[in-house]
Each structure stands twice: as structure tokens, then as C-alpha cells.
Amino acid sequence: MIHLILGGARSGKSSFALKEAELLINEQRLNPVFIATATASDDEMTARIERHKNERGEHWQLREVPLDLVGELNKASAQDLLLIDCLTLWLNNQLYLRPDDDPALATQQLTDALNGCQATVLLIANEVGLGVIPMGEVSRIFVDQAGWLNQAIGRIADRVTFVAAGLPLNLKSTQSLKDKKSLKGKQS
């Protein structure tokens, strides 16, 4: 199962994702793996990373993966639950640390790896296209790439949830579609 969780800054998406992950871990007895894409580049980011660590329980295995999400997805087993926080920082790392690489290719490789992954995967991403259009070329390129990345993941995800003001809004749920079809069949 792939679940994409989108929202703006401080929308509550990470808290929502953690609650969803804990439910799945308990229901299905999955091995919790937190994949962090952030790097502590300054004091504020260090404090932000520390706050996220403190929100998780001791039972979470931490993997710091600023670039190679494909490798992590390929190593995962069906007994793993991967909580990836966040795709937007992963994209930033791709653009900043691998400026000569094609971000569309990185997105394609990521979606291919997700499609082949045996684990339950929850991905957190920022929805950056709802605000003011950035003035600089680099910022506009980032917003475009983030939008295309979110669309690509959204197409293959089983579930997509948008979080605003701490409230989840279901955008896509193939599970609920399957449930509705099975209920229809039982009623006939």
C-alpha cells in the first residue's frame, strides 16, 4: 500500500502520518522504519529534526536517506512500514546535490521503485503550488518539479490525503472503491 500525505507547512501532515502509521503497525504487526530525508544544515533544521524524533516512539528504526530512496525501497520487505518524511526535501536534495541529473528521471525511478516495493509506504510531501508564484527561476523550477513529483506519486498511490489545519481530507482511496464494489455485489 502506498499512501501519499500532502499539506502545507505546519498543516499537521507529519502528525497525521505518524498516527496513521501507528494504526497500521499495530493492526498488521509491521516493522516501523522512519526514513528521514532532511539534513541538519542549520540550527533551526536541527531543532526541527529533533522535534520529529521526539514525536516518534523508541520502537521506530531511523534511516537518514537524503538521496537514495530507491535503494531503501528496494531493500524493504513486506513486514516493513516505511514512513518517508519528506519527498519535498528529497527533491530539494536531488536538485541541489545533483544539479546535472534530470529530476524527471529521478521521479520515474522513484515511482518504479514504489510500484515494486513490498512494504507499506507512507510518504509525506509539501503541496507548494497553492501559494504565491516565486519570483526567481530556481524557485519556479522547484515548484514545478514538486508539483510533477506529487502528481506522479498521486497517480500510483492507493491513498492520497490532503491535510490542512490538522484536518485530513481524503483525495483518493482505492480501498474505499474496492469496498464499495464488493458491497454493491453483495446487495445484488
* pLDDT value for 48: 75
CB atoms within 10 A of CB 176: 11
C-alpha cell at 46: 536541527
Residue 183 has pLDDT above 60, yes or no: no
- Of the chain, the end-to-end C-alpha distance in Å amounts to 29
What one-letter code names the amino acid at 139? S
Closest CA to 99 of 146, 141, 71, 133: 141
pTM assigned to the model: 0.87
**Which of 3, 13, 52, 159 is flagged as catalytic?**
52
* pLDDT value for 181: 43
Q: Domains along the chain?
A: 2-187 (3.40.50.300)
Q: What angle do CA 57, 53, 129 make, to 5 degrees?
A: 120
- Read off the pLDDT band of 40 (50, 70, 90): confident
Closest CA to 124 of 69, 76, 175: 69
Q: Which residue do the cell numbers 521503485 mark?
A: 113
In the annotation, is 59 catalytic? no
Task: Specify which residues 91 forms β-bridges with.
Answer: none
pLDDT tens profile 123-179: 999 999 887 777 888 888 999 999 999 999 999 999 999 999 999 999 999 864 444
d(CA 160, CA 133): 24
Task: Output 73 or 55, whichever has higher pLDDT.
Answer: 73
pLDDT tens profile 81-125: 999 999 999 999 999 999 999 999 999 999 999 999 999 999 999
CB atoms within 10 A of CB 103: 19
